Amino acid sequence: MLLLPSLLLLAQSPLTHSAPWLGQPLDVELNGLLPGVAVGLYYSPSAASFPTPFGLLELDPAGLLQIGSGLADAQGEVAFQFALPQVAALAEAPAHLQALVVDGTAGTVSLSHAAHLRLLGSRFYSSESRFDAGLQGFVSRLAVRSSPSMDLVFELPPTATEFGARTYLSADGSVAAVVTNNAVRRFDNFFGSASDELLLGDVRGAAVDASGDALLVYVGPDFFSPGEVQRVPLEVGAPAVPLGIFGNVGPATFDPAANRAYLPALPTAAFEARVREVDLATSATIAEHVVAPPNHAELDWVRTLNGSLVAGSHTDDEFLTANASLGRVDLASPGAPALQNLGSNDQTAVAGPLAATGELLLIARDWPFAGPVAPDLTLGLFDASTPSSLTAVPQPFAAPDNYTIVVDLGASVWLVDRCCDQIFGGDNLRLFQLDPLTGALADVSPGPQGYLDQQYSAAGGTSDFGGQTLVLGPNCPLMSCPGIAFRVRDAATGAETLVPTGGWFVEWLEGLSIP
């Protein structure tokens, strides 16, 4: 039978796939077909571009392999699944997939659109800078590195700022978004071939929505103005969409599975911090929850945990010695909040829920100008299912501040009191290990002075089938730092190795682990 090119390709959907994490199943689908047509799925380690009578071949013929075949079902879909092995050496290997569709009845053949991806292992995303002698100035980049080798996968131009940055991925792993305190930077997560940046304003909370294809972002035009929820597609070039859901100044959180946003509301007449619960589908206000005692009008953070709304607040008076509070509301039967005063000099920061226990980790935050303080609570573990379950952690971590980095690796939690955050300098990074099951905390720094070999101001970690890795990112106070290196620590054994950065110093670092 003579097979002819098919015009059906124009109506077909692209070849779609799940996120290609090592150790996870890879699902590949093609839809928009006529029921019963035959489909062959092909793989090549390299991409190419060859015009053919059946469409554009985007795979290199030199390494072409057929890896699957099937017939389109009654809905015009065909699906394949592959078990990706837990082999660290395969991390970042390119995989290019394309389907050939044969309609024997009509005598036509067509090529699908291709899917170009990498097999994903654990990674680090970092903002890096160095002095360029030729340019007589500093150059910056956003770097993507493989864990634990710290090999560079690809680099991009820098974001506007990386303060408070966090990385999110689309459901299929193809797009990454770095959310900073004022922008969202989106880019091709496989090859870095496309990127853009949306300057939004004052970003106060973000989460991937239930579809996995967009971010929900709460943002204000500036630090002092009310905010609005926007939907930011995880697609390079797509505009942000304001949702017309507004809130007050302060932090927000989302529960995408329940289609809820929790936004700061105006305080009560008694200056109690409040949080507004909003239905994202209808924009309707479900309730306004009081989450703080009187005079605690400043909302520091808000989370949902185990069916509860949990928030940290503080008073306006920075000179009080115990002015932070913790509030919990049962969302199933809202009523008066369960409240606790925390003996913190100013605010609390929060991390979690922790992977091992589901608890929140609270950290006292003291302004650098406040001088020595002795808060009743330095660290605390909180389980929202029991309102009075705040457990103080022993005190070797005696001087936390706004610049403490928390790295949760599951069996161990690492608290990094980074260098260079004190006004008068001279402080080196100190490293603490927290057992999340017992609350035991130990200073594992190489000595009372901390790390003296170089200055470290960033940290991140990954945990997967290859082990647990903690990485300290080096800082550079000088014009040129050719000898600086990442400090890569095996979290289980404590063994550390230095990986040179090529003169790059690190301003921000985050690890993303294989699920």
Fold of the CATH domain 4-118: S-adenosyl-L-methionine-dependent methyltransferases (2.20.130)
Cα angle vertex 398, ends 163, 180, to 5°?
Answer: 10
**What whole-number distance in Å separates Cα of residue 276 and Cα of residue 267?**
11
Q: What is the pLDDT of residue 267?
A: 92
**Which residues of the chain have a pLDDT value below 50?**
1-11, 320-322, 367-377, 394-402, 423-425
**What whole-number distance in Å separates Cα of residue 363 and Cα of residue 342?**
10
Q: What is the pLDDT of residue 391?
A: 56
Q: What's the pLDDT tens digit per position in 475-503?
A: 876 666 778 999 999 999 999 999 999 88
CA Rg, the chain, in Å?
26
Cis peptide before 353 (omega within 30 of 0): yes
**Contacts of residue 172, Cβ cutoff 8 Å, sequence gap at least 6:** 16, 17, 18, 19, 212
Amino acid found at 439 = G
Token duo for residue 319: 């000179």
Q: What's the pLDDT tens digit per position in 71-82?
A: 999 999 999 999
Q: Are strands 166-169 and 152-156 parallel, antiparallel or unpaired?
A: unpaired
Secondary structure E strands in 133-250: 137-146, 152-156, 166-169, 175-179, 183-188, 195-199, 202-208, 214-220, 227-233, 241-247
Please identify which residue in the block is written with the tokens 């820098």.
158
* CA contacts within 13 A on the Cβ side of 296: 28
Q: What is the pLDDT of residue 386?
A: 60
Q: What is the pLDDT of residue 301?
A: 92
Q: What is the DSSP letter of 20?
A: -
Token duo for residue 235: 């697609």
What is each CA distance from 506 to 112, 196, 260, in whole angstroms? 42, 22, 36
Q: What is the pLDDT of residue 359?
A: 84
What is each CA distance from 160 to 127, 198, 219, 227, in whole angstroms? 11, 10, 16, 20
Q: What is the pLDDT of residue 397?
A: 41
Q: What is the pLDDT of residue 395?
A: 42
Fold of the CATH domain 248-386: Methylamine Dehydrogenase; Chain H (2.130.10)
Q: What's the pLDDT tens digit per position in 246-305?
A: 999 999 999 999 999 999 999 999 999 999 999 999 999 999 999 988 888 889 899 998
User: Nearest to residue 441, comparing CAs of 449, 450, 432?
Assistant: 432
Q: Is 505 helix (H, G, I), strand (E, B) or coil?
A: strand
Q: What is the pLDDT of residue 69?
A: 97
Instruction: Say if residues 72 and 8 touch (Cβ distance below 8 Å).
Output: no
